[in-house]
């Protein structure tokens, strides 16, 4: 392995150097016959990586960790986490590596990370592998989220490895090259706290502040400011999920970032018909991470972060607990404010003018949606047309129900802005039946459906002729959708 002159960019190894206790130096497994299945050229350019060079032989080696670029010092990160409420003291990257960081075109530090790059010391019983389908799934979902304007980790590439992966059947293996503003998780803080080494915890917190919340460094107590900033960022993130009908599915504390980006696209999915009890994950038997439970799950996770930070919040434990409780009390208000802002926009009203009325109208609309089992995405999109004078498509979604007509009449009186609505209510989301279709074809070697779907969902607000089937809800025979985790 050697660095190549083709990649003039220098990687950093800030995390590896600043926090050696939280990363084990490790190498990616050898790829046998790498083949690029998806490459995010705009993201590559943003990172200063030449998309043409990435498609060459050395590019494929770089994207799979088989060529360690100048300055990189790959590590498998260690973290703890509550999984479905149960604490695991040592999880860590079982099949992933942090390659290093890149300073992007905007001067921001970005992690370049590999998923499916082989077993690490944290693999436990796992095989360290990832299959083509789930890695492309993360690529589609994360890039759709980004296009929707929802904070998320990004996908730079999916490369098939030529190595078979043994699941229920034998599947082709792949590596996802993921980009994130960092991979610091609530679980990273839980791990650092559990070591009992307060100086390590402080170094981790300082690292997080420098990377994500530099203004917190100037606060009287930077660690209280950090906690509050993460609470606000997560409250805003989950509000955006709720408004978009996104169900994360595995909101364990190791899958919640400090940055406020969505991470770990395993069993997640977007809802078709609006139903707050929606659960997609086949392993979430108790419906812990059902759509409607997501704000509470986030708050629960943030309480675990607050507990981890206690020694930094105040030297007196009782006072530290009071500070933490006070910060956590802010979650509900932060969430409500973020939701109300987004809700106003979705129904075309101005939050500063009609804020309270808009929130009430939105709540009422969701009740009507649920009662009539109407597609969430189409409902908002067609409402936009109704605001601009053509209500037929919206009315037909509700089958002419009086409840909807009554609601619409009251809403139209406030003069909603149809133009604004078409900028915030997508026409194309990664619908489950389309995602499954694209993944099944890709696994069989046909990438065309994947690229057609990506084309639709990465420009989600722009209605285009010929893409009608990407706007339609699932066919009736698609059935009860279930997703699988850890695949
Ligand atoms: P996740 O449910 O994807 O958040 O994963 C939870 C933990 O299991 C993380 O520590 C992962 O790195 C690890 N893990 C998941 N799948 C595998 C696998 N196939 N091999 C090794 N570790 C895995
Ligand atoms: Mg995870």
* Torsion, CA 81, CA 79, CA 142, CA 381, rounded to 10: 30
Decide which of 185 and 9 is more confident: 185
Examine the domain organization and report whether 209 and 328 are in the same domain.
Answer: yes
Residues surrounding ion ligand 2 at CB below 5 Å: 255, 264
Query: Cβ of 74: how many Cβ atoms within 10 Å?
Result: 24
Examine the domain organization and report whether 193 and 329 are in the same domain.
Answer: yes
pLDDT over threshold 80, residue 5: no
Last-in-domain residue among 338, 369, 388: 338
User: Which atom of ligand 1 is least distant from the CA of 266?
Assistant: 3
Burial class (CB in 10 A: 0-12, 13-18, 19+), 214: exposed
**Cα–chain-centroid distance for residue 376?**
20
CA–centroid distance, 322 to ligand 1, in Å, is: 35
Average pLDDT rounded to a whole number, residues 292-296 = 98
Examine the domain organization and report whether 70 and 207 are in the same domain.
Answer: no
- Rounded Cα distance, 34 and 194, in Å: 40
Instruction: Give the pLDDT of residue 477.
Output: 83
DSSP state of 389: T
Residue 124 lies in a domain: yes
Examine the domain organization and report whether 99 and 219 are in the same domain.
Answer: no
What ligand has the least distance to the C-alpha of 90? 1
Question: Which residues does 75 contact at the CB level (< 8 Å), separation at least 6?
Answer: 15, 16, 23, 24, 25, 26, 97, 98
Instruction: Give the pLDDT of residue 352.
Output: 80
Last-in-domain residue among 180, 213, 234: 180
pLDDT over threshold 90, residue 354: no
Whether the CB of 93 sits within 6 Å of ligand 1: yes
Domain count, the chain: 2
> Domain limits at 113?
11-180
CB 406 within 8 A of CB 368: no
CA–centroid distance, 193 to ligand 1, in Å, is: 22
Residue 459 lies in a domain: no
330-342 residue pLDDT tens: 999 999 999 999 9
Last-in-domain residue among 311, 338, 365: 338
Average pLDDT rounded to a whole number, residues 390-416 = 96
- Rounded Cα distance, 296 and 247, in Å: 13
Which residues belong to the active site?
254
34-46 residue pLDDT tens: 999 999 999 999 9
61-117 residue pLDDT tens: 999 999 999 999 999 999 999 999 999 999 999 999 999 999 999 999 999 999 999
* Residues comprising the chain, all counted: 487
pLDDT over threshold 70, residue 1: no
Examine the domain organization and report whether 40 and 128 are in the same domain.
Answer: yes
CA–centroid distance, 122 to ligand 1, in Å, is: 9
Q: Which protein residue has the closest C-alpha to ligand 1 atom 7?
A: 91
pLDDT over threshold 60, residue 50: yes
Examine the domain organization and report whether 169 and 289 are in the same domain.
Answer: no
Q: Which protein residue has the closest C-alpha to ligand 1 atom 3?
A: 486
Whether the CB of 138 sits within 6 Å of ligand 1: no
3-state SS assignment for residue 362 = helix
Instruction: Give the pLDDT of residue 227.
Output: 99
The dihedral through the CA atoms of 454, 457, 461, 466 has a sign that is positive
Whether the CB of 173 sits within 6 Å of ligand 1: no
Examine the domain organization and report whether 280 and 149 are in the same domain.
Answer: no
What ligand has the least distance to the C-alpha of 256? 2
pLDDT over threshold 60, residue 487: no
Examine the domain organization and report whether 94 and 203 are in the same domain.
Answer: no
Residue 399 lies in a domain: no
pLDDT over threshold 70, residue 2: no
Beta bridge partners of 177: 114, 157
Instruction: Give the pLDDT of residue 307.
Output: 98
pLDDT over threshold 70, residue 465: yes
CA–centroid distance, 76 to ligand 1, in Å, is: 12
Whether the CB of 91 sits within 6 Å of ligand 1: yes
- Rounded Cα distance, 311 and 78, in Å: 21
CA–centroid distance, 5 to ligand 2, in Å, is: 34
DSSP state of 474: P
Instruction: Give the pLDDT of residue 4.
Output: 53
What ligand has the least distance to the C-alpha of 115? 1
Residue 295 lies in a domain: yes
């Amino acid at each position: 392995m050697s660095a190549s002159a083709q990649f003039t960019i220098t990687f950093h190894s800030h995390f590896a150097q600043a926090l050696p206790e939280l990363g084990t130096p490790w190498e990616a497994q050898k790829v046998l016959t790498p083949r690029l299945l998806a490459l995010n050229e705009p993201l590559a350019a943003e990172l200063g990586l030449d998309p043409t060079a990435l498609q060459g032989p050395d590019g494929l080696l770089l994207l799979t960790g088989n060529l360690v670029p100048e300055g990189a010092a790959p590590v498998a990160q260690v973290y703890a986490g509550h999984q479905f409420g149960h604490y695991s003291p040592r999880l860590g990257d079982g099949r992933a590596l942090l390659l290093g960081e890149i300073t992007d075109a905007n001067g921001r530090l970005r992690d370049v990370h590999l998923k499916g790059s082989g077993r690490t010391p944290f693999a436990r019983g796992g095989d360290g592998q990832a299959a083509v389908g789930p890695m492309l799934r993360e690529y589609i979902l994360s890039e759709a989220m980004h296009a929707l304007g929802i904070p998320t980790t990004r996908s730079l590439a999916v490369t098939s490895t030529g190595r078979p992966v043994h699941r229920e059947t034998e599947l082709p293996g792949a590596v996802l090259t993921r980009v994130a503003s960092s991979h610091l998780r609530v679980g990273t803080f839980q791990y650092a706290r559990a070591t009992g080494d307060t100086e390590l915890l402080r170094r981790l917190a300082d690292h997080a502040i420098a990377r994500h919340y530099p203004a917190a460094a100037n606060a009287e107590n930077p660690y209280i400011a950090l906690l509050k900033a993460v609470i606000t960022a997560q409250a805003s993130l989950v509000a955006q999920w709720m408004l978009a009908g996104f169900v994360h599915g595995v909101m364990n504390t190791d899958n919640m970032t400090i940055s406020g980006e969505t991470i770990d696209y395993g069993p997640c999915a977007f809802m078709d018909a609006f139903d707050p009890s929606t659960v997609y994950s086949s392993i979430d038997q108790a419906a812990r991470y059902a759509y409607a439970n997501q704000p509470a799950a986030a708050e629960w996770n943030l309480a675990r972060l607050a507990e981890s930070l206690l020694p930094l919040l105040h030297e007196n434990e009782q006072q530290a607990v009071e500070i933490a409780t006070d910060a956590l009390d802010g979650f509900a208000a932060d969430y409500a404010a973020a939701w109300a802002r987004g809700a106003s926009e979705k129904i075309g009203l101005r939050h500063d003018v009609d804020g309270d009325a808009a929130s009430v109208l939105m709540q009422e609309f969701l009740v009507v949606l649920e009662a009539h089992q109407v597609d969430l995405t189409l409902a908002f999109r067609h409402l936009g047309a109704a605001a601009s004078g053509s209500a037929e498509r919206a009315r037909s979604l509700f089958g002419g129900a009086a409840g909807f007509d009554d609601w619409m009449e009251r809403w139209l009186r406030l003069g909603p802005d149809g133009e604004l609505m078409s900028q915030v209510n997508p026409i194309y989301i990664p619908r489950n039946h389309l995602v499954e279709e694209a993944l099944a074809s890709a696994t069989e070697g046909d990438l065309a459906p994947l690229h057609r779907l990506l084309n639709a969902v990465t420009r989600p607000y722009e209605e285009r002729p010929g893409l009608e089937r990407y706007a339609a809800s699932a066919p009736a025979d698609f059935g009860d959708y279930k997703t699988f985790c850890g695949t």
